[in-house]
Structure 1
């Protein structure tokens, strides 16, 4: 059994043991935080435990690579073109599509193309010989259930479908594990990091460490604060405390909802654009309503 499988089994055991009623989970998590303050467990251990709890509540849509960012291979491409896509992208798995992104016919693994790098072997290339079946999951699926499915099926990637059965994106086992153990860097991550991803009409996923300058440039906005350089810092200041998953606030024309965070920082947020009329209505509400 390799290290990744061992980790997955360990996390699955934690799911089965800890994911009970919501109130019980909250009490248990508070006990872990108290243990960290007393030095019984270290901060890294606490962050992993918090990640396990977060995964039980997060859904695939919260972490998937959205449709607009997919690197796909057309079914009718020649092997030379496929090799070029693999080399340029640096990815290891690719959805293979027919005429549109909604027609996924299978999954291509980069390592399976290694046998066709010379001219002689390319003459015998048949995509069907190396094409692997695609796995499809709904975007509403909880991450702890997805992780269990990955472990049992030995698949490491799944296509994500929306309520209309269209392709919404893709998700990998690495994406799920990163919610628990933190970002898993590889040789391609430095170039592939995307701080802001569009997930739908006026809805985006934004990394907490996104610089305010980059955020403003992307949205043509002017959010600023003399003490903070990242969007997470600004949101934390606005809330007045380090937020937990699910907390929300509105700054200017942006509504922020925390989708993953730990005891040290905000990892990811869902950002929605709100109109000036919506802001005006919110301002007229009693404070007790706004705080809910």
Structure 2
């Protein structure tokens, strides 16, 4: 046969087959490596190339089957031609062995490793142009592809794979967190933090962010009218709960904007205050934040009374509190006492009423938040008894020293995380 075809022509045909093999190999890697989410976005924006690639990827079994049919046919034909050339130069005995060795090296370098590596690094540069050839080629070879896929899909079903559609691109919440983390400079750090905070809303409940009961400032109707009016005129809050005697007996929520209606009257009565108070809105303490955010929107509310399973008031939760979990602190509560005091030695004196989640956010620590909500409660749970005096303890990597105890309450503790000495 080598006498029928010039050797130069056979070498040219062999080089062409190696290039075609490189095309199929790089197309396979490029198609499988392309970013599906960027591809979907570009297809939605009207990019015809992206739409064509998405059509091919809709049935990956057909795409891969067609590519492998073409690649295997070309490689087998290249092996036959290489054998003919080798026999021409080296004879019938050593020619086949030499052609197998040389062709294997050539295909590995020029048709496999190099094109596939490039396609993995620049998948769009390979997938988009290749789609112009692969789509009509798939239609041309469809009967053969269908037959091969019917057999291979049957074997896959025996292995427990019931679907070969390319629709498994949905992400779990943890996977989406990883995508946001790995976005790098493509998404500003501030925006990354907000996206991650939105994903975390499901893991945080209302009682994690509420103003605790002992810090709630409200109007007690058992107080004198003069004291109540003074409180209303000097209040630094726009909404105040109205209750009688005990905060569990909440009557309503007074918006100070409505207080102007009775403050302008010659005579102000407690009944007038109650009349302007809106019916209270109660929230179960275990409500996840993402649910409560929707509830606030549906109920047209900005503040709610947090209650436990027995109906006792636990505190207040506001729309602003939930939004601050997403975007960070954007309001300043002038009445809020400072609870974390940095010390010169690197430690921090923290008040016992400080919220654990706020301490973690402020200091970057990882104190447990699945139990007590305050530092006082966390220390008592760890000790399993009330300390009779100053005590030192350690939780994870955080060390604590109780500084002050008053009325069965740990009012302050010094906390720090020892730094590990540098390795030499």
Structure 2: unaligned runs, 5 residues or longer = 1-170, 353-357, 386-391, 397-424
3-state SS in 2 of match to 1:101: strand
> Are 2:213 and 2:315, in contact at CA under 8 Å, matched by a contact in 1?
yes
Structure with the bigger percentage of strand: 1
> Are 1:59 and 1:140, in contact at CA under 8 Å, matched by a contact in 2?
yes
1:275 alignment partner, one of 383, 402, 405: 383
> Are 1:115 and 1:121, in contact at CA under 8 Å, matched by a contact in 2?
no
Measured in 2, the distance between the counterparts of 1:44 and 1:281 equals 30
3-state SS in 2 of match to 1:141: coil
Measured in 2, the distance between the counterparts of 1:62 and 1:68 equals 15
3-state SS in 1 of match to 2:368: strand
- Structure 1 partner of 2:368: 257
Query: Which aligned segments of 4 or more residues in structure 1 are displaced greater than 4 angstroms?
Result: 76-80, 230-236, 276-282
Mean Cα deviation higher: 144-153 or 26-35 = 26-35
Q: 1:195 to 1:60 in 2, by over 3 A?
A: farther
The two structures have a TM-score, normalised by structure 1, of 0.61
> Are 1:211 and 1:231, in contact at CA under 8 Å, matched by a contact in 2?
no
Q: 1:48 to 1:233 in 2, by over 3 A?
A: closer
The two structures have a TM-score, normalised by structure 2, of 0.43
Measured in 1, the distance between the counterparts of 2:197 and 2:252 equals 31
Q: Which aligned pairs between 1:1-292 and structure 2 lie closer than 5 A?
A: 24-35=172-183, 37=184, 39-77=185-223, 80-118=226-264, 120=266, 122=268, 126-186=272-332, 189=333, 191-196=334-339, 210-213=340-343, 216=349, 218=351, 236=364, 248=366, 256-257=367-368, 271=375, 272-273=378-379, 274-275=382-383
What's the RMSD between the two structures over aligned residues?
Answer: 3.5
Q: 1:161 to 1:195 in 2, by over 3 A?
A: farther
Q: 1:136 to 1:123 in 2, by over 3 A?
A: closer
Structure with the bigger percentage of helix: 2
Measured in 2, the distance between the counterparts of 1:101 and 1:234 equals 31
Q: 1:280 to 1:94 in 2, by over 3 A?
A: closer
Structure with greater contact order relative to length (CA < 8 Å, sep ≥ 6): 1
- Structure 2 partner of 1:227: none
Measured in 1, the distance between the counterparts of 2:297 and 2:393 equals 45
CA drift at 1:257: 1.8
